[in-house]
Amino acid sequence: MSNNKNEYFEKEYMPKMHRIGKLTGLLGVVVSFGPALVLAVVYGLLPKPTALLTAFIAAASSFGLLWIVEPISYFPVLGPIGTYMAFLSGNISNMRLPCAGMAQTAAGVEPGSDEGSIISVLGMAVSVIINVSVLTVGVILGSSVLSMMPQGVKDALNLLLPALFGALLVQFGMKQKSLAVTLLIIGILIYVAINAGLFNWLPGASNYLPTLACVFIGIGISLKMLGKKKEGQ
C-alpha cells in the first residue's frame, strides 16, 4: 500500500505539478510585461534606454542577489511545488511561509514529508486567494480608505510585521528551543556585524546574508543532531 501511495505521488502528482508550475511561472513572466506593453501601445510611452539601464543596474545591485538566494533559502521549507507557488504570488516570508507552516501544524503532518508538502500547497492556495481578495477590495475602496485612516493607525500597522515574525519564531522554535536560540543569536550577530560595516564589501548583504546563514547553519546543526541521535540508538 505505502508503495502504491509513493508511486502515485512520485510518478503522477509530482511530474504534473512540475509541468504546471513551470508553465505558470513562464506565463507569469510574460503577463508581468502587460502594463509596460499597454503604456507603450496605448499611450506611446517607451522607456529611455539609458535611464532604464541605470534603473535596472540600481535595482539589480540592491536586490539582484535575492533572486537567487531567496529561492535557495526558502526551498528547504517550500519544497519544489511550494516554490512555484510562492514565487509566482510573492510575499513569501510574510505570508506564504506562515500559512504553509500553520497549515502543517493544524493537520499534524511533518514538514518535508509528502503529506507536509501537499498540506503546505493547500495552505498557500488559501492564503493566495485571501491575499488577492483583500487587495481587490482594498484597491476598489482605494485612496478613500487611505485618507480616512489616521496617521496613528498607519504607524501602528507597521508594527504588525515584526510581531508576526516574533510570534512565528515561537510557533516553530518551541519544539526545538536550543536550535532557535542559537540561530537567533547568530542572526543578531550578523546584523550587528553588517551594521558595523564588516560586510560593506558585499552589496546589500543585510537583505540576504542573515537568512541564508540562519537557514543553512540551522540545517547543518539539525542534521548533525539527527546523526548523533541515530548513533545513540
Where in 139-178 is the site for another protein (CB under 8 A)?
Answer: 139, 142-143, 145-146, 149, 152, 154-176
45 near 85, Cβ under 8 Å?
Answer: no
Among 11, 202, 203, 216, binds another protein (CB under 8 A): 216
Give me the 89-118 binding string for another protein, x by CB under 8 A, dash otherwise.
xxxxxxx-xxxxxxxxxxxxxxxxxxxx-x
User: Should residue 29 be labelled a site residue for another protein when binding is judged by CB under 8 A?
Assistant: yes
* HEC string for 121-147: HHHHHHHHHHHHHHHHHHHHHCHHHHH
Minimum Å gap between C-beta 198 and another protein is: 14
Grid look-up 560586510 returns: 199
Residue 199 C-beta: closest distance to another protein, Å: 14
Q: Which is nearer to another protein, 201 or 216 (CB)?
A: 216
96: nearest Cα among 133, 131, 139: 131
Q: How far is the CB of 200 from another protein (least distance, A)?
A: 17
- Tell the smallest beta-carbon distance from residue 34 to another protein (Å): 3
115-134: which residues touch another protein (CB under 8 A)? 115-116, 118-119, 121-132, 134
Query: Closest separation between CB of residue 203 and another protein, Å?
Result: 14
The least CB distance from residue 133 to another protein, in Å, is: 8
Round to the nearest angstrom and report the end-to-end CA distance of the chain: 28
Phi, psi of 70 (to 5 degrees): -65, -50
Per CB under 8 A, contacts with another protein among 190-209 are: 190-192, 195, 206
- Contact set for another protein, span 51-70 (CB under 8 A): 51-52, 54-56, 58-60, 62-64, 66-68, 70
Q: How many CB atoms lie within 10 A of CB 72?
A: 13
Nearer to another protein, 113 or 201 (CB): 113
The dihedrals phi and psi of 100, each to the nearest 5 degrees, come to: -60, -45
Shortest reach from residue 212's CB to another protein, in Å? 8
Residues numbered 8 to 27 that lie near another protein (CB under 8 A) are: 8-9, 12-13, 16-18, 20-22, 24-27
- Give yes or no for a contact between 100 and 82, defined as CB atoms under 8 angstroms apart: yes
What the block records as the C-alpha cell of 136 is 481587490
Region of 16 (left: φ > 0; alpha: ψ -120 to 50; beta: rest) is alpha
CA distance 225 to 130: 38
d(CA 41, CA 124): 35
Q: Which of residues 70-89 bind another protein (CB under 8 A)?
A: 70-77, 79-81, 83-89
